A and B are shown apart, each in its own frame.
Chain A
């Protein structure tokens, strides 16, 4: 990594978020380097999922959510007035905790995003679907059953289908919100391998409660913690994953990654 200068795809600056009156996260600041994987770790309820949902403004769906601070994507604050959230979500895709394919065919699941932006040409759609499924390492398993429901696949396959669905709109950033918490170890391995391959073209952020997973897949890690119940989640430490896991600078990080709490 040191050989090339890292550019930041996203920068999170002094970000705080409230659910009506409750402050869920406070003053979080860290960078998301381009074409790297950044992991968000921390015990349950520390606000890491809430935080990642600020990056593509999915929290906007919840009534009463308020955000302070900035989330900068390519030098533009996504929370500035009049920012195009629809365009933002096309640039910053998301894979969820539970695989959530639409009750449509495998083909239609992947073609959903391209169709939204008005691509109608059958050949072009065919190409996008095949290409995306290949990039998501799912093509060979599903190429003969493209017309079957995406919901009939196994959990791990469904999650890769969701990744293909995101890839199909060619986002710049992909957010993974605990993508492996609902699938088995073998499928988890497949997805981790897949993420390593996708690093060439995409910037990724992964939320995980699994420290080994963060250590395996990520280049950078941010550790979040709620000090006491009722307090907001704060960023305790952010840095290079290797350094963080071998030589953490904060005592709380060390206690967490060595499994002494959380």
Chain B
């Protein structure tokens, strides 16, 4: 930062003082904007870490992160048990289920938009998917609650609440991200690749399957990871359909909780170490998000190298 500032000042000397002044002022404003963002991230991280520290110290890593025993005591927080593994598992399971469906669906839709549909129809589908991204999660959760949950209940003979319902709701949430980014990636492929394949006598499907998708692999992976990030963090829609139980989910049709829904459910009455254990859950979410971001950095770097 300092080095670049110095450069600008030397450069500005040639252009006169008034110009240099304005340039520097703009620079300071920009720097302030950037600093706010960085500061916010830093503060959130520090705050969450500080607030979760008591529970980590008190209970130990094993009892906090690797135990499924979650029996908070509202009146006397110290007497409760705060093992969050059930909810970590719930988050991973619902996200995995959502990805299982939304990945092929999203990439399929992207292929349709970019390669199959005539321009006019592609535009309609694209707008539709953008619209889907703009629907508030509570509305999607509500649909899940009144349509999905009863349907699952009827088919499976369970309550209908649980991982399956949550995953399906998350499919809707992750789909726009995956589709839009995948379509962008496919669109950015050089037209020559497709031409080369078609000119070899490949069918449209052979071209898509053997040339376009493999060439877009890294970009598609990033699209899926970003969709995953969306799914992991989603709270409201999931909370409405997952059943909010503390039980470790062994069946996709059993009620359980995710990290986010547990925080929302318990945060009102939590104090002391109970509250700190909720912050520890937030810390886990933050770490998962960081891992995903690092993953994306690694993949993009690999793509640039290729």
Contact = CB atoms under 8 A, between A and B. Distances in A.
A116 B197 CA distance: 10
Is chain B's binding surface mostly helix, strand, loop or mixed? helix
B198 A61 contact: yes
Nearest to B194: A61
Contact of A86 (B201, B210, B211): B201
B118 A96 contact: no
Contacts of B194: 61
Contacts of B210: 112, 116
A230 interface: no
A19 interface: no
Nearest to A88: B201
Interface string A55-93: 010100101000000000000000000000011111001
Contact of A89 (B119, B193, B200): B200
Given A96-B192, A98-B192, A169 B200 contact: yes
A102 B201 contact: no
B217 to A, nearest CB: 9
Contact of B198 (A89, A103, A104): A89
B199 to A, nearest CB: 4
Interface residues of B, number: 21
Contact of A116 (B118, B192, B206): B206
A103 B214 contact: yes
A89 B199 contact: yes
B195 interface: yes
Given A63-B119, A100-B190, A103-B215, A113 B200 contact: yes
Nearest to B207: A116
Nearest to B202: A116
Closest A-B pairs by Cβ, 8 of them: A90-B201, A100-B192, A94-B199, A89-B201, A100-B196, A113-B200, A103-B215, A86-B201
15 contacts: A63-B119, A86-B203, A89-B199, A93-B200, A94-B199, A96-B196, A100-B192, A100-B195, A100-B196, A102-B193, A103-B214, A103-B215, A103-B306, A112-B197, A112-B200
